[in-house]
Structure 1
Amino acid sequence: MPSAQRYIEIMDTTLRDGEQTSGVSFSPSEKLTIAQLLLTEVKVDRIEIASARVSEGEFAAVKSITKWAKANGLLDRVEVLTFVDGDVSVQWMLKAGAKVMNLLTKGSLNHLTHQLKKKPEEHFAEVGAVIKLAKKKGLECNVYLEDWSNGMRHSKDYVFQYLDFLNTQPVKRVMLPDTLGILTPAEVTSFVSETIQRYPNIHFDFHAHNDYDLGTANVLEGVKAGAHGIHLTINGMGERAGNAPLASAIAVLNDFMPELKTGVAEGSLYKVSKLVETFSGFRIPVNKPVVGENVFTQTAGIHADGDKKNKLYFSDLIPERFGRTRKYALGKTSGKANIENNLQQLGLQLSDPDLKKVTQRIIELGDKKEVVTQADLPYIISDVLDSNTIEEKVTVLDYVLTHSKTLKPSVTLRIAILEEIFEEHSQGDGQYDAFMNALKKVYKKLKQELPVLTDYAVRIPPGGKSDALCETIITWRHSNKEFKTRGLDSDQTVSAIKATQKMLNLI
C-alpha cells in the first residue's frame, strides 16, 4: 500500500437527494436510523439529510438527527441543502439545530438567465449576503453549482467568473454536480481537472447522476482528475435514474485506485443497502453490482467446477468483503460441482450414485421453476433417497384438477396398476380430497381397501416464496401399522399426489 495516499471524502446524500426517488419518503425515525448507521458503521465522512423548508416532517427528522449527532460529537458531519432566500434558510437551520448548510446556487448561465432571470453580479451579491449571514450565525457553508456540467459545456466563462467570486468567500467546499447526468467520463476528466488546476486552493466535491448509467465511471474519473470528495447514495437512489451508488463506487475506488483511500467500511455496505431497501420499498435489482441478490451467485455448473479448481472464476470482488457469501444456484444448468458446493456448505455428503440421482432431480425441478435454493436441497435429497427404496408398480399417469368458486373441486384421474390402466372422475371438499375419492373408486373395482390417512403435514424451506418447493408428508394406517410417505413439488396438491403414489407402491 502506498505510503502517501490521498484521502477522498465521501458524502452520502441518500436522505436528501436519494429521497427524491419517485414514491420514496422516509419517516423521521427511519431517517435517524439510516443516519446513525451511515456515520457509525458505514463510516462515511458526511451525510446530507434534508432540504430546508420542505415540510414539518422534514424539520422533525432533521431536529432528531442533529440532536443525536450533537450528543455524539458528529454535528459537523451532518449537512442540509439550503437556498438563496435571504435569512429564511439560515433561520430554519438554526431552529433545526444544524450547523452545515449546502447552499444551492446556479452553476450555468442557462439556469441563471431563464430560471432566476438575473445577471451574474446580482446572483453573486445575493449568494454573498447569505454566506455572510450564515457565518455570522455560526454556520458552516458549502456551495452547490447547480447544472455545473452544462455550465462547463456551454458557459464556461460564467462558471469561472462565479468561481472567481467564490474564491473570495468563506466557504469550505464547492460542489460540482452533473445535475442531469449528461457527462461522459472524458468530459468529467477534462472539466474537473481544468477547474481544480485553475483553483488549487478550493476543496471541490463531484456529484454524479446516473441517467446514462455512467455514474460510477464518472465518479472514478472525477477522483482521478483530482476531486477531493464525491457524493453517493445507497442503492443509487435519486431522481430519475438516480445517483452514483455508494457500494459500487467504493468497490471501484478501492480496487482501481490504490493511491487513495476512503474511510468507508466495506463490510457494512450490504447491511445498510438492505435496510434502505426495506424502509424505502425501492427494490434492489437482483443483478445490481455488489448488493444485488444474484451478483455473487454462480449458476452454470462449469463455473462452480472452475471455482473448485484453483478458484478460476474468482475476482478481487469477493463477497466476504461486503459481509456476503458466495452461492451456487441449483437449477436446470446446475452440474455436479454446483450441487457438491451446496452440500459442502450444508455439511452433507452423498455417494456418487445418489449425487447423480439428486442432480437429475434438480434439473427436472429447474425446468419447472427458475432456481432451486440451497434451503430446498435437504427436501430434495429426502425425496430422492426415499424414492430409491420403492419399486414402481403403480403410476399416476395423468390427472385434471379443477377448482371454482361455486362448484365442488373435481378430479379426473388416469392410473396404471400392474400395467392395467384405470380412469375415474370424482368430486371432493378440496382438490386432494377429490383425488382420493377418485382413487378409492379405482381400488373398489380391485376390491382393495386403501390405507387410512391419519396425518397430513406440509413444509416449505425457511423464507420460502410462492414458488418454493413444497414437501408434503402423509401418515397412513394400514393393517394396524403406521407409515409415512413424502412428496416434493412446487405445487402443494401435486406434492401430496406424489406422496400418495409412493404409498400405493408400498402396499
Structure 2
Amino acid sequence: MATRRIEIMDTTLRDGEQTSSVSFSASEKLTIAKLLLEELKVDRIEIASARVSEGELQAVKDITHWAIKHGYLDKVEVLTFVDNGVSIDWMIEAGAKVQNLLTKGSLNHLTHQLKKTSKQHFSEIEKSLKLASEKDIETNVYLEDWSNGMRNSKTYVFEFLEFLSTQPLKRIMLPDTLGVLTPKESYEFVKEIKDKYPNLHFDFHAHNDYDLGVANAIEALKSGADGLHLTINGMGERAGNAPMASTIAVINDFMPDIEIGVNEKVLYTVSKLVENFSGVMIPANKPVIGANVFTQTAGIHADGDNKKNLYFSDLLPERFGRTRKYALGKSSGKANIQKNLQELGLQLNDEDLKKVTQRIIELGDKKQVVTKEDLPYIISDVLDRTYEEKVIVNSYVLTHSKGLKPSTTVSISIENETFEEHAQGDGQFDAFMNAIRNVFKRKKTVLPDLIDYAVRIPPGSRSDALCETIITWKNTEKEFKTRGLDSDQTVSAIKATEKMLNIIIN
C-alpha cells in the first residue's frame, strides 16, 4: 500500500500555554522545545505569539538561538498578526523565520470583529505576505474560525482560498477554533477543499470541546489533510486541543497509508515533563499516558493475561516506554498477586498465597491503596503467625486532646476471657501499653520491655501507604521482634503488640 507522509506540528508552547493558569518560563519552553524536536521528533513546533511580553520575546530568542546551532530554525514557528509589520519586526528581533499569520476564516469574524470587507482584509494580508517575503520570513496562514466559516459562509471561505492560492505562502491552516465540528463535517469540509486545491498544503487544527478532537483529526487525514496540529496532554484553551499521544497511537495502529516521524517511545516521558512544568495533572484514565491505562484491576484479567495474554491489544505499554501493572485491592485475585510477586522475584505456595490474597482484599475493602512495594510487608505480616491466636484486641478508643494527657480505653480477650481497661500515657501508644499492662497484672503476667520501635513505609510510597511498625521486645529469656501493618502508624504498633502478647501467652 502506498503511503503518504504527513506533518505533525506541536503547538503546546503556544496554543497549549493558553490553558487557564499555565505559563511556562523561558527555560521550561527551551527544555520542552528541545524534547519535541530532538526526542519526540515532531516536524514543527509553534512556540509563541508575537508581541505578547518581554518574557515571551526572551523565550523565543533562547529557542531560536539553540535552533540555529542545531539546524532546526525552519521548524520553529510563531503566531503573528495582520498589523502593518509590527509582528514581523518582533520576529526579526526574536530571530524567528517562520510566521503563522492569523486571519479571519469566517465572514462572521470578519464582519463583527474586524468590521471590514473581504477586499480590505485580503489587501492587508497581501501586504503582510509581501513584507514577510522581503524580510526572508516564510509564511503559513491560519483561517481563524474556519469551521464556522464552512458551515455558515462557505462562499467567503472559497473566495479567501482562491486569493491565498495566488500568494507566496507555504501552508494554509484550517482550525476548528471552537471545537464544534463533527467527524463527518471534518471529513467533508477538508475533502471539498483538497479536491479543489490538491496542490496546496493544508493543516488541520482540532479543538476538543465535544471530546471529538482525535476523531476529527483522523477524519481530516482520511480526506487528504497534509498535517495536524496537536498538543502534549491535549493542553489548550477551554477543553484543550487534540492530544498528541492518542492521536499518534491511532494513526500508527489504524492508518497504514499514513507515515509520520513521531517517536512514540518517548510520548510518556514528554507528557510527564509537561505535566510537571504546567502543573496540570494528567487524568489517571487518559489514553496512552494516564496512570491507570495499562493497569489491570480485575483478577480475571490478570488470569487471562497468564493464559496467552487474552486481555492484551496492540496498544502495548512497552511502545510508549511503560510497563503493564496489576492493581492490588478488593478486586484482586490470585493471578494479580502472582503477577506482582513475579516482578519482585518472590514465590508463595498455594496456602500462603490464599492468606495474602485475603489480606489484600481486606485492605482494599477499607479503601486503602495497596502497591507492589507493599507486598513484602503484607507477606511478612500475614505469614509471621506461628502461634495459636489466644489474645485478641477487640476494640480500643484512642484520645489525644490539647492540654490533656493522651488516654486509651481498650477491650481485650485472653483465652476467651474479656477485659476492659482505661489508662493514660505520654502518647496514644504509651497509654495503650499502660492499659494492657494493667490487664496482664490481673493475669499475674509481666510483659516484656519495649527496647526498640521502628517505623517504615515502602520506598516511593505516598502518605496513604501501608506502614510497618517493627518492635523489639526483651524479657528475662531473650529478645524478639514483632511486626504490625496498617495505614495508621499507631494501629500498626497495636497490631505488633497483639502479636507479642500471643507469643508470650503461647
Shift of 1:404: 2.6
Q: How many angstroms apart in 1 are the aligned matches of 2:448 and 2:164?
A: 89
In structure 1, the residue matched to 2:356 is: 358
1:59-208 correspondence runs (5 A): 59-208=57-206
SS of 1:16's partner is: coil
CA deviation vs aligned residue, 1:303-337 (integer Å, no higher than 9, x gap): 11111111111101010000000000011011111
Q: How many angstroms apart in 2 are the aligned matches of 1:428 and 1:184?
A: 68
Q: How many angstroms apart in 1 are the aligned matches of 2:434 and 2:123?
A: 88
CA contact (8 A) 1:329 1:371 kept: no
CA contact (8 A) 2:207 2:239 kept: yes
SS of 1:110's partner is: helix
- Match of 1:159, as an amino acid? V
In structure 1, the residue matched to 2:293 is: 295
Task: Give the number of aligned pairs.
Answer: 504
CA deviation vs aligned residue, 1:34-93 (integer Å, no higher than 9, x gap): 000010000000000111111111111111111111100001001011111111100000
List alignment gaps of at least 5 residues for structure 2: none
1:273-422 correspondence runs (5 A): 273-387=271-385, 389-422=386-419
CA deviation vs aligned residue, 1:119-144 (integer Å, no higher than 9, x gap): 00111111111111111111111000
Scaled by the length of structure 2, the TM-score of the pair is 0.98
CA contact (8 A) 1:330 1:338 kept: yes
In structure 1, the residue matched to 2:502 is: 505
Shift of 1:370: 4.9
Instruction: Find runs of 4+ consecutive structure 1 residues off by over 3 angstroms.
Output: none
Q: How many angstroms apart in 2 are the aligned matches of 1:186 and 1:433?
A: 70
SS of 2:384's partner is: helix
Q: How many angstroms apart in 1 are the aligned matches of 2:432 and 2:64?
A: 65
CA deviation vs aligned residue, 1:7-37 (integer Å, no higher than 9, x gap): 1100000000001111111111111110000
Q: How many angstroms apart in 2 are the aligned matches of 1:96 and 1:47?
A: 15
1:262 paired to 2:260: yes
* Residue from 8, 20, 37 that aligns with 1:22: 20
Shift of 1:477: 1.0
* Residue from 422, 428, 451 that aligns with 1:431: 428
CA deviation vs aligned residue, 1:124-166 (integer Å, no higher than 9, x gap): 1111111111111111110000000000000000000111111
In structure 2, the residue matched to 1:252 is: 250
Shift of 1:249: 0.2
1:493 paired to 2:490: yes
Q: How many angstroms apart in 2 are the aligned matches of 1:336 and 1:430?
A: 40
Q: How many angstroms apart in 1 are the aligned matches of 2:332 and 2:363?
A: 11
Q: How many angstroms apart in 2 are the aligned matches of 1:481 and 1:125?
A: 96
Q: How many angstroms apart in 1 are the aligned matches of 2:342 and 2:419?
A: 45
Shift of 1:480: 4.7
* Residue from 462, 465, 486 that aligns with 2:462: 465
Q: How many angstroms apart in 2 are the aligned matches of 1:225 and 1:272?
A: 30
SS of 1:365's partner is: helix
Q: How many angstroms apart in 1 are the aligned matches of 2:284 and 2:406?
A: 38
- Match of 2:383, as an amino acid? L
Shift of 1:447: 2.7
SS of 2:410's partner is: strand
SS of 1:179's partner is: coil
Q: How many angstroms apart in 1 are the aligned matches of 2:286 and 2:368?
A: 19
Shift of 1:444: 2.3
Percent of pairs identical after alignment?
A: 74
In structure 1, the residue matched to 2:8 is: 10
Shift of 1:440: 1.7
CA contact (8 A) 1:8 1:261 kept: yes
- Match of 2:85, as an amino acid? D
SS of 2:131's partner is: helix
CA contact (8 A) 2:175 2:206 kept: yes
CA deviation vs aligned residue, 1:416-465 (integer Å, no higher than 9, x gap): 11211111112222211221121122122223221111111111112211
Q: How many angstroms apart in 2 are the aligned matches of 1:428 and 1:15?
A: 58
